[in-house]
Amino acid sequence: MEKSYLQIARAAYQPKLPKALLGPVKAVAGAPTQSVGNQEEIKELFPNTYGMPVIEFEAGEAQQLPAINVGVILSGGQAPGGHNVISGLFDGIKSINPDSKLYGFILGPGGLVDHNYMELTSDIIDEYRNTGGFDIIGSGRTKLEEVEQFEKGIKILRELNIKALVIIGGDDSNTNACVLAEYYAAKNYGVQVIGCPKTIDGDLKNEQIETSFGFDTACKTYSELIGNIQRDCNSARKYWHFIKLMGRSASHIALECALQCQPNICLISEEVEAKAMSLDDVVTYIAEAVAKRAEDGKDFGTVLIPEGLIEFIPAIKKLIAELNDVLASSEAQALNRSQQIDFVKQHISPENLAVFNSLPTSVARQLALDRDPHGNVQVSLIETEKLLSAMVAAKLDRWKKNGKYKGKFATQHHFFGYEGRCAAPSNYDADYCYSLGFNASRLIANGKTGYMSIIKNTTAPATEWIAGGVPITMMMNLERRNGKMKPVIRKALVELDGAPFKYFASKREEWARETKYVYPGPIQYFGPTEVCDQPTITLKLEQQK
């Protein structure tokens, strides 16, 4: 593999570890846990992995442990730092016993089912240390839900003498990890399953998981791009830039980028829903900010938009919920795409039909026809940034006729998604991910299954980070998916009474009227710690650091 000078320099970087993981460990168990919702139902579904305690590792006494073979899977969308989780896991199992082996299943969970794998040796691992992407073994979105898949998986695990499987993924992937752990425990198959929290969207977090890996790097990558645009915006002074950002289910990325860059406007989906704002309310909010800046002679600005915004507008959210149920029916599934539109119109409520008919034709078709593998609307395909700017332009034209607006409104559009998913991990993510993988090896050595690897206190220096594990069942509740109630990990949304949003809310009027742009610049890997090793502003505000 050819390497850039940065890759060569980064390959030599040794990620930092929490003090507790620098030698032998002992697991300290807390109180029994329960799920965040639907306790009785979750307990019934997961009798073998429910109620386990949260684990924290402390320094322990050295002991000779046998070699262990471990499998690893990268699941779902890419996030910066995945390679470091794998390298941390590799180093961790080798420190337990040098004869331990690590096998990677190719292209996600499907590799386990299809027996597609490779042994990850030190030569391979060393090529990928501190690099972005998931290309060491690839990723996939196959869901592990069926008994047939579990049984196919156990065949290859037995053939390779794999005693533990580490699944690196987001909330859906870790839900699958929990289901698999329960099945193998119920069958006494002797295979442990451990999860690692990954998603750049930042919505896999709770009291135990401070942040999902990749979020830090992605936000810094997007913030560099937004800062560049804002510098251009403030130089040319003739465009409003509408910038859509990753974040289907939650607005954590948009909020963090706003905290880093101080744009004129940042929409937060959770606030739009809480205030029961209509699409017109959102458009009016933007148009009023544009008009006020025009009064000051500033016909330019930046607007940040989370990609899932449209789903949080209550009227559209109700429409989508009914569309999901209607389109999940076997009758709808049997129809071709053009027939499905007519079927939808005939089978949704009059209230939702009125909303459906009020949308631009292209958006209505996307809501009704374009679904992801989970049966959900593919909101990333909806060009919300263009929809909003067009509606703002139309409103400003009306205001111009009655003298309410006298400026010029020209726009540019951007969507930042793939640009951040495989970036070279920041020092924070390089350290955090390596620690998550190394820590997973310690959960395995301590006989744990159905746990997620967790690293806490991450606004402190890395040596002071706290390592341990949380039962995946603790994070679960029941939610409606494809017309059925299913156990899933509860997504973490932006908390409107949380410190990050409150700080943003206290500043946004000032940022809207004035030009207070911050230009973060590119991620720095070498230099003073206050430049290179900072966590997100979100995390610092949450922990008041």
Report the catalytic residues. 201
Question: CB neighbours of 423 closer than 8 A, spacing ≥ 6?
Answer: 80, 132, 217, 218, 221, 523
Tally the residues of the chain. Answer: 545
Asked if residue 512 lies in contact with residue 224, where contact means CB atoms within 8 angstroms, the answer is no
Q: Which class for 503: exposed (0-12), middle (13-18), buried (19 or more C-beta within 10 A)?
A: middle
Both tokens assigned to 221: 């990558």
- CA dist list (Å): 230 to 237, 238, 320: 10, 12, 34
Which runs of E-coded beta strand occur in 33-98? 53-59, 69-74
Neighbours of 402 (CB within 10 A): 7
Q: Can you spell out the DSSP letters for 295-331? A: HTT---EEEEEETTHHHHSHHHHHHHHHHHHHHHSHH
Angle between helices 171-186 and 147-159 (to 10 degrees): 70
SS3 for 294?
helix
Both tokens assigned to 146: 């069926």
Longest dimension (CA), the chain: 82
SS3 for 241?
strand
Provide the pairing of β-strand 411-416 with 301-306.
unpaired
Asked if residue 279 lies in contact with residue 339, where contact means CB atoms within 8 angstroms, the answer is no
Beta sheet of 301-306, edge-to-edge order? 265-266, 301-306, 240-245, 411-416
SS3 for 523?
coil
Question: CB neighbours of 45 closer than 8 A, spacing ≥ 6?
Answer: 182, 487
Which runs of E-coded beta strand occur in 310-407? none
Neighbours of 47 (CB within 10 A): 11
Q: How far apart are CA 195 and CA 367, in angstroms?
A: 33
Angle between helices 350-358 and 337-347 (to 10 degrees): 130
Q: How far apart are CA 538 and CA 202, in angstroms?
A: 10
